[in-house]
Structure 1
Amino acid sequence: MIREGGCLCGAVRFKAEGEPLNVRVCHCRICQKAMGSPFFARAQFVPEALTVEGDTGRYPSSENIDRVFCKRCGTRLFAWRRNGTAVGVALATFDDRNGFAPTEHIWVSEKMTWLKLDDGLPQYPATIPS
């Protein structure tokens, strides 16, 4: 299956092929700052599953992750692992914004205090335990 998406202005388009590795909501402080939002809801794919067209910029938000955005409109699209193992695609940027549903919340120890999580999904204080 191929799912498509893009940025607000349409200058960047992408295709994600196959099923994601996981679909999670991250509440860590870095994601909050990078997304300008209380959390980052994303579907994670292997990089080879993603095809991107358009002019994007990158910002190293941590030693492990580059944030990728549209240079024209600023839409935050991807969290790209520098080691090449995965890329997180912002759920709201897919054309079918309801195509994926998260299966858990991670880094809830850093979630904003006013945010109430009552969706019944598993919640982890940090990342998923091994």
Structure 2
Amino acid sequence: MSEEMAGGCQCGRVRYRVLVDNDEAYLCHCRMCQRATGGVSIAFKNFPRSAVSWEREPDRYASSAIAQRGFCAQCGTPLTYEAHGHPYMDLTVGSFDDPWRFKPVEHSGCESWHRDWLDTGHLPAERTNENPSMVKRWMDATGKLPE
């Protein structure tokens, strides 16, 4: 079933809306994505460009000879991957207001795959509200824990 979803950057300056008709997303591990995000991979959801409406357009950086990336110049949030001349674009899963709907169905750019960073279910886990020093920093700064 199709559902309109919204998303945007961390500071709220750049916002978008898009009609989502499936839960399929993917992880990209290529070096360009690693460098653009500072992470070992990035989760993307692919859409026709025409399906995405921007309340405010993202800033864009020509990250290679074949693509540009949308981001917020104020807070730095990565938002898009846009191949030149291609009718589809990718939105970052983490930039959706409610990203929980999406499920990874494939990997891309596996030549740079850091497998140890993907299968981490065996590692100890701690919630933010269980970390006393983190709780103190948030409470001192804002009086509440982040969402």
Q: TM (normalized to structure 1)?
A: 0.81
Q: State the aligned residue count.
A: 119
Contact 1:79 1:89 in 2 (8 A): yes
* Matching of residues 45-60 of structure 1 within 5 Å: 45-54=47-56, 56-60=58-62
Residue from 65, 87, 90 that aligns with 1:85: 87
Poorly superposed stretches of 4+, deviation over 6 Å: none
Structure with greater helix percent: 2
Measure how far apart 1:113 and its partner are. 5.5
Aligned-residue Cα RMSD (Å) equals 2.1
- The 1:42–1:97 alpha-carbon spacing in structure 2 relative to 1, beyond 3 Å, is same
- The 1:51–1:22 alpha-carbon spacing in structure 2 relative to 1, beyond 3 Å, is same
Match of 2:65 in 1: 63
Q: Mind listing any 5+ residue stretches in structure 1 that lack a counterpart? A: 120-130
Match of 1:107 in 2: 109
Larger radius of gyration: 2
Q: Mind listing any 5+ residue stretches in structure 2 that lack a counterpart? A: 122-147
Residue type of the alignment partner of 1:9: C
Measure how far apart 1:80 and its partner are. 1.2
Contact 1:26 1:107 in 2 (8 A): yes
Q: TM (normalized to structure 2)?
A: 0.73
Contact 2:23 2:103 in 1 (8 A): no
Cα distance in 1 for partners of 2:120, 2:55 equals 37
